[in-house]
């Protein structure tokens, strides 16, 4: 089965045992994949044949489905000859439930194309337990009876699962009932409100069923997939990482964005797999790697360190280690500044920011109401203290991440205050009753009614205002944008729309900033941060002709997930112990997010703990490279269009 020659050729450039096509962003890869599928559908149509597609759910294929829908609506692509088999379904699960994969497939694909409903197959999560085994056998047989799957789409879970074949799945497993891994269940919480609601089991096609497909595309978007993707394509074949079985398939391709490929050897340490085209950024990456690997500060690295670690190319190009060391040391040294808005009256030729104008207009965009203080609270405080004209803009209401009991508490407060002061009226009482009834009767899986969402949004507004005021902003510099894409009342959001971009543009036009700070989670393919960033990129594109735009610099901070790697950092702002304490206080203003907010993700630490550990870690890394020792540091990268 194994296509040894193809793999061998590929290995000359990398350690990957599956061909990986790297895309700049998930959209580019998804469009290409959708078009390949469309081509195959049309080809079969021409031959008067049916095509059998194996389909996946989850965030990975969403943009592929969106493009297929567009091709159907705008370019006449018909799905009449398509037969589909979905990989899996939670168990137990009613097909009409919002969390079911039936619902997912209808929402993203089937309701918008002309596929014959008879041709759609999705494992039935409502089959009685006694029948499950026989049902799974029938599902498997149905695939075979249709001649097997022509094209199989896959995502990869953080456990390395494909379908719901969790670690321990055997190579020739067939469609069956399985138990979900703890990590998979935690990742699914975003669709279920509470962890207890996530089913413990699922029906899934087996590894053997997947391997029978004639061609397979595995998608991986975002840096949260980087580690497991590396194991899947470079690691040994093992049931502990079920996706590694794909290495045995003769016709499988990985489509991944650059963020998901960060851990592949040819991206992370390309000098280990072949000749490099050295540029300043790559040299910096190599030197930082070498310093951390050898445990030596940069200025102590020797020619031997370079040659023993496959970096002798560099010492030849730069004459000797000393020249490279000093060059990269200086580069990193120049990223450090206590003056994020630029240092007035100073020579700025080696500083990250311009000295002029001394007083800059600044907008800090915060996707959720607390990202500003969590991710750049220290820099926020400094910018205000150093006299810049700082605005903060909260891009979304953040209303889904507030507990029901908090909404109840605030509604009761309003009602009791109004009653006690004699200003209660019928309208208020009606709203009060409606909110209290709805919260009391709410099933865990239901969306909040509009009134409750409003209250939750106001709770977060109040907290954001308190945080921004704590950082020294006047109220007219605090903006709530309530971007519409976010307002679905559930974790799944709408795609970005023109209104979202327009709102950002209007604020930029009004402030005409010299500096913009934004959450640069390029790695987060579909989440709120990515959409918020796309809206800012969209605004930059549309405003590019404005005269003030030539002075507008965009600095990206990283959101809750992870920090820039040291070689990527272009501005590192030190934080003293006292400033770190103040930053913590600003984060504490977000009371609804304290302890354990709804949807905390897989990280048990509170936000202030994550922020402090991350900022301390950046300082520790700088120190171990031989630079100055600070308590903590916030890091930024400049985005140049
Ligand atoms: C979905 C499925 C899963 C997902 C995987 C990745 O039908 O079988 O294997 O593909 O969990 O999920 P996302 O794409 O949400 O990261």
- The SS3 of residue 472 is coil
User: Which amino acid residue places its CA nearest to atom 1 of ligand 1?
Assistant: 57
Residue 302 sits in the same domain as residue 246 = no
569 within a domain of the structure (yes/no): yes
What is the per-residue DSSP string for 342-384? --TTS--TTSSS---SSS-EEEEEESSTTHHHHHHHHHHHHHH
Task: Kindly report the number of other CB atoms within 10 A of residue 484's CB atom.
Answer: 17
pLDDT above 70 (res 5) = no
Is the CB of residue 592 less than 8 Å from the CB of residue 406? yes
Is the CB of residue 222 less than 8 Å from the CB of residue 187? no
pLDDT score recorded for residue 524: 67
Q: Which of 294, 293, 287, 332 is nearest to 314 (CA)?
A: 287
Contacts of 340 (CB under 8 A, 6+ apart): 352, 353, 379, 382, 383, 386, 555, 571, 573, 636
pLDDT score recorded for residue 597: 82
11 within a domain of the structure (yes/no): no
Residue 393 sits in the same domain as residue 524 = yes
pLDDT band at 190 (very low <50, low <70, confident <90, very high): confident
Contacts of 4 (CB under 8 A, 6+ apart): none
Q: How far is CA 388 from CA 503, 533, 581, 636, in A?
A: 23, 23, 22, 18
Contacts of 176 (CB under 8 A, 6+ apart): 133, 136, 203, 204, 206
Residue 634 sits in the same domain as residue 537 = yes
pLDDT band at 560 (very low <50, low <70, confident <90, very high): low
Atom of ligand 1 nearest to the CA of 56: 7
CA distance 195 to 189: 5
Cα 514 to middle of ligand 1, angstroms: 41
CA distance 415 to 451: 14
User: Which amino acid residue places its CA nearest to atom 5 of ligand 1?
Assistant: 157
380 within a domain of the structure (yes/no): yes
6 within a domain of the structure (yes/no): no
Residue 179 sits in the same domain as residue 125 = yes
Residue 313 sits in the same domain as residue 169 = no
Average pLDDT over residues 103-127: 98
pLDDT score recorded for residue 9: 38
Average pLDDT over residues 349-353: 97
pLDDT score recorded for residue 519: 96
Residue 159 sits in the same domain as residue 252 = yes
Last residue of a domain, one of 299, 334, 369: 334
Does the Cβ of 155 fall within 6 Å of ligand 1?
A: yes
Does the Cβ of 161 fall within 6 Å of ligand 1?
A: yes
Is the CB of residue 287 less than 8 Å from the CB of residue 300? no
pLDDT above 60 (res 61) = yes
524 within a domain of the structure (yes/no): yes
pLDDT score recorded for residue 495: 83
Average pLDDT over residues 470-497: 93
pTM: 0.89
579 within a domain of the structure (yes/no): yes
- The SS3 of residue 16 is coil
pLDDT band at 187 (very low <50, low <70, confident <90, very high): confident
Ligand 1 pocket test, candidate residues 86, 89, 155, most atoms within 8 A of CB: 155
pLDDT above 50 (res 7) = no
Which structural domain range is residue 136 located in? 17-266
Residue 623 sits in the same domain as residue 497 = yes
Quote the mean pLDDT of the chain: 94
Per the structure, the count of domains in the chain is: 3
Is the CB of residue 176 less than 8 Å from the CB of residue 204? yes
Residue 26 sits in the same domain as residue 163 = yes
pLDDT score recorded for residue 245: 98
Greater confidence (227 vs 559) lies with 227
Task: Kindly report the number of other CB atoms within 10 A of residue 5's CB atom.
Answer: 8
Average pLDDT over residues 351-358: 98
Q: What is the pLDDT of residues 318-348, one digit of tens each?
A: 889 999 999 999 999 999 999 999 999 999 9
Cα 449 to middle of ligand 1, angstroms: 29
Last residue of a domain, one of 211, 231, 266: 266
Residue 212 sits in the same domain as residue 174 = yes
pLDDT band at 538 (very low <50, low <70, confident <90, very high): very high
Q: Determine which one of 67, 166, 231, 234 is catalytic.
A: 166
pLDDT score recorded for residue 23: 96
pLDDT score recorded for residue 10: 40
Residue 187 sits in the same domain as residue 304 = no
CATH of the domain at 221: 3.40.50.1360
Q: Percent of the chain beyond pLDDT 90?
A: 87
Per the annotation, the verdict on 581 as an active-site residue is no
Greater confidence (357 vs 195) lies with 357
Q: In what order do the strands lie in the sheet with 176-179?
A: 88-91, 201-204, 176-179
List strand residue ranges (DSSP E) for 194-288, in order: 201-204, 215-220, 252-257
pLDDT above 80 (res 587) = yes
184 within a domain of the structure (yes/no): yes
First-to-final CA distance of the chain: 46
pLDDT score recorded for residue 444: 64
Does the Cβ of 65 fall within 6 Å of ligand 1?
A: no
Half-sphere CA count of 339, side-chain side, radius 13 A: 20
Q: Please tell me the least confidently modeled range out of 41-45, 100-104, 139-143, 526-530.
A: 526-530
Cα 32 to middle of ligand 1, angstroms: 20
Phi, psi torsion values for 116, nearest 5 degrees: -75, 120
Cα 490 to middle of ligand 1, angstroms: 19
Does the Cβ of 57 fall within 6 Å of ligand 1?
A: yes
pLDDT score recorded for residue 442: 84
Cα 161 to middle of ligand 1, angstroms: 8
pLDDT band at 278 (very low <50, low <70, confident <90, very high): very high
Residue 471 sits in the same domain as residue 327 = no
pLDDT score recorded for residue 526: 59
Residue 312 sits in the same domain as residue 365 = no
Q: Percent of the chain beyond pLDDT 70?
A: 96
Half-sphere CA count of 183, side-chain side, radius 13 A: 12
413 within a domain of the structure (yes/no): no
């Amino acid at each position: 089965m194994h296509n040894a020659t193809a793999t061998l050729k590929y290995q000359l450039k990398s350690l990957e045992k599956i061909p990986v096509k790297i895309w700049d962003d998930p959209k580019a890869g998804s469009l290409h994949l959708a078009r390949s599928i469309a081509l195959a559908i049309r080809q079969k149509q021409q031959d008067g044949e049916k095509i059998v597609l194996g389909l996946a759910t989850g965030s990975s294929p969403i943009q592929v489905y969106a493009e297929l829908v567009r091709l159907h609506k705008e370019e006449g692509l018909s799905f009449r000859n398509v037969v589909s088999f979905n990989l899996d379904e939670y168990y137990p699960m009613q097909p009409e439930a919002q969390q079911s994969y039936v619902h997912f497939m209808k929402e993203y694909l089937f309701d918008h194309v002309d596929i014959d409903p008879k041709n759609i197959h999705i494992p039935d999560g409502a089959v009685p337990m006694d029948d499950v085994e026989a049902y799974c056998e029938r599902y498997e047989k149905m695939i075979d009876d249709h001649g097997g799957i022509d094209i199989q789409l896959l995502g990869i879970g953080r456990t390395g699962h494909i379908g719901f074949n969790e670690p321990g799945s055997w190579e020739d497993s067939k469609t069956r009932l399985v138990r979900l891994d703890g990590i998979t269940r935690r990742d699914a919480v975003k669709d279920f409100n509470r962890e207890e609601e996530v089913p413990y089991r699922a029906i899934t096609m087996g590894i053997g069923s997947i391997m029978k497909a004639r061609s397979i595309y595995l998608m991986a978007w975002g840096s949260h997939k980087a580690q497991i993707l590396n194991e899947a394509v470079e690691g040994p074949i093992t049931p502990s990482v079920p996706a590694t079985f794909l290495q045995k398939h003769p016709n499988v391709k990985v489509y991944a964005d650059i963020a998901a490929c960060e851990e592949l050897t040819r991206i992370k340490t390309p000098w280990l797999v072949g000749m490099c085209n050295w540029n300043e950024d790559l040299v910096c990456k190599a030197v930082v790697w070498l310093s951390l690997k050898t445990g030596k500060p940069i200025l102590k690295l020797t020619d031997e360190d370079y040659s023993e670690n496959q970096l002798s190319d560099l010492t030849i190009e730069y004459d000797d280690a000393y020249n490279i060391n000093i060059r990269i040391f200086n580069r990193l040294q120049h990223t450090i500044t206590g003056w994020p808005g630029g240092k007035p009256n100073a020579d700025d030729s080696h500083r990250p920011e311009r000295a002029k104008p001394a007083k800059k207009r600044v907008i800090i965009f915060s996707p959720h109401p607390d990202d500003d203080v969590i991710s750049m609270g220290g820099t926020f405080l400094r910018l205000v203290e150093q006299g810049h004209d700082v605005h903060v803009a909260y891009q979304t209401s953040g209303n889904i991440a507030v507990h029901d009991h908090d909404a109840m508490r605030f509604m009761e407060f309003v009602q009791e205050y109004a009653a006690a002061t004699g200003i209660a009226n019928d309208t208020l009482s009606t709203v009060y009753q409606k909110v209290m009834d709805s919260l009391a009767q709410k099933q865990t899986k239901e969306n909040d009614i509009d009134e409750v969402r409003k209250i939750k949004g106001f709770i977060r507004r109040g907290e954001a205002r308190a945080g921004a005021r704590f950082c020294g902003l006047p109220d007219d510099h605090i903006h709530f944008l309530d971007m519409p894409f976010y307002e679905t009342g559930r974790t799944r959001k709408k795609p970005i729309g023109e209104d979202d971009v327009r709102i950002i543009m209007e604020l930029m036009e009004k402030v005409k900033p010299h500096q913009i700070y934004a959450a640069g989670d390029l790695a987060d393919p579909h989440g709120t941060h990515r959409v918020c960033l796309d809206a800012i990129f969209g605004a930059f594109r549309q405003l590019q002709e404005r005269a003030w735009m030539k002075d507008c610099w965009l600095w990206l901070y990283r959101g809750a997930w992870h920090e820039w790697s040291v070689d990527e950092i272009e501005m590192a702002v030190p934080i003293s112990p006292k400033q770190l304490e103040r930053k913590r206080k600003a984060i504490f203003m977000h009371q609804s997010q304290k302890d354990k907010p709804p949807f905390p993700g897989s990280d048990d630490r509170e936000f202030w703990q994550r922020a402090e550990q991350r900022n301390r870690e950046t300082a520790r890394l700088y120190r171990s490279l031989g630079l100055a020792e600070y308590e903590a540091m916030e890091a930024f990268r400049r985005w140049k269009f």
